[in-house]
Amino acid sequence: MIKLDRKDFLTLKDFTKQEIEDLIDYSIELKEQKSAGELKQKLKNKNIALLFEKSSTRTRCAFVTAAFNEGANPEFLGKNDIQFGKKETTKDTARVLGRMFDGIGFRGFKHETVETLAEYSGVPVWNGLTEKFHPTQILADFMTVKENFGKIAGTKFAYVGDGRNNMANSLMIGAAKVGMDFRIIAPESLFPSQELVSLCEQYATQSGASITLTENIEQGVKGADVIYTDVWASMGEEAKIPERIKLLKPYKITREMLALTGNPDVIFMHCLPSFHNLETEVSKKYSEICEVEEEVFESENSKVFDEAENRLWTIEAVMVATS
């Protein structure tokens, strides 16, 4: 079991390489303990609020199942369930929730909201996605990398697609902290902000990471151990779908792109949900929105459901380590 000397988990900027690695190792331990029937309930009698403005399958279910695994009581509060943001300020909601709950999981639009909850609730606050960052997802992603390659530092990780969304930002921060060879392959108009790139370059000088931004797919994916993508328009950006399709169509993950890595053992990863065929409402409306072809998504190289399961173990590790 590990304990961190801070209560909140808002962005990986706040954590050291060692802390990130310890959280991942602890997540692997929890996964093993559960399957051996040896999991101890370390959050018994704790009450956990899950305040979600945006929809979710994996993050919500990971918080709920992790809470039950550890003996805590989760309460889901959707955006229409409470006064939050309608009749009450975030600061007041934070102070009320902090009097009744022992921890708050938040998913929403503005990163400032999760910061306000952390500032005023007095209890641990865990970021389950904002428009800027999705840090618990990165722990699950790096755990999956470790399960596949036995290490995280030094792996060659190529993120292809919308290079300035919450996933690209958070992967870049995490990769720079732990020492990966990290590449963002995207049209230049979708590169991450220069401010964040400069910060990550500073982290990289400490960890030995390298950060590359390129529009060139062939150069960007060469030698990669991991090809990672996300949807082309994130939640809240639906109006941008037609524009993003035009920009990102050449960056769709295909078997040819996997072959360009020159690495037969390359793995495919995606935070999910994914538009990989025409079966969802959105992909029926926009038939070209597909960021990965079905043959890659369903291939042996695809680790997306291991990654999804690992959301549970990593969120459980974060809750225990910060409570």
Reply yes or no on whether 107 is catalytic. yes
For residue 214, the SS3 value is strand
For residue 312, the SS3 value is helix
Reply yes or no on whether 271 is catalytic. yes
For residue 154, the SS3 value is coil
Q: Which of 58, 60, 137, 225 is catalytic?
A: 137
CB 210 within 8 A of CB 272: no
d(CA 319, CA 323) in angstroms, rounded, equals 6
The interface with ligand NVA within residues 104-133 (CB under 6 A) comprises: 129
Which residues touch 19 (CB under 8 Å, ≥6 apart)?
4
Reply yes or no on whether 230 is catalytic. yes
- Selected from 11, 27, 56, 166, the binder of ligand CP by CB under 6 A is 56
Interaction between residue 271 and ligand CP (CB under 6 A) = yes
Q: Which of 8, 200, 271, 276 is catalytic?
A: 271
Reply yes or no on whether 95 is catalytic. no
The interface with ligand CP within residues 104-143 (CB under 6 A) comprises: 129, 137
CB 267 within 8 A of CB 301: yes
Which of these segments, 5-13, 52-60, 66-74, 314-322, binds ligand CP (CB under 6 A)? 52-60
Reply yes or no on whether 33 is catalytic. no
- Selected from 17, 46, 58, 276, the binder of ligand CP by CB under 6 A is 58
Q: What SS3 string covers 250-305?
A: HHCECHHHHHHCCCCCCEEEECCCCCCCCCCHHHHHCCCCCCECHHHHCCCCECHH
Which of these segments, 21-29, 54-62, 205-213, 260-268, binds ligand CP (CB under 6 A)? 54-62
CB 140 within 8 A of CB 310: yes
Site string for ligand NVA, 253-272 (x = CB under 6 A): ------------------x-
Specify the residue, 221 or 231, whose C-beta has the smaller distance to ligand NVA: 231
The interface with ligand NVA within residues 208-237 (CB under 6 A) comprises: 230-231, 234-235
181-185, strands of its sheet edge to edge:
210-214, 181-185, 156-160, 226-229, 267-270
CB 281 within 8 A of CB 320: no
Q: Which of 134, 164, 183, 270 is catalytic?
A: 134
Reply yes or no on whether 60 is catalytic. no
Residues that bind ligand NVA (CB under 6 A): 129, 165-167, 230-231, 234-235, 271
Chain residues in the site for ligand CP (CB under 6 A): 56-59, 129, 137, 271-273
Active site residue ranges: 107, 134, 137, 230, 271, 311
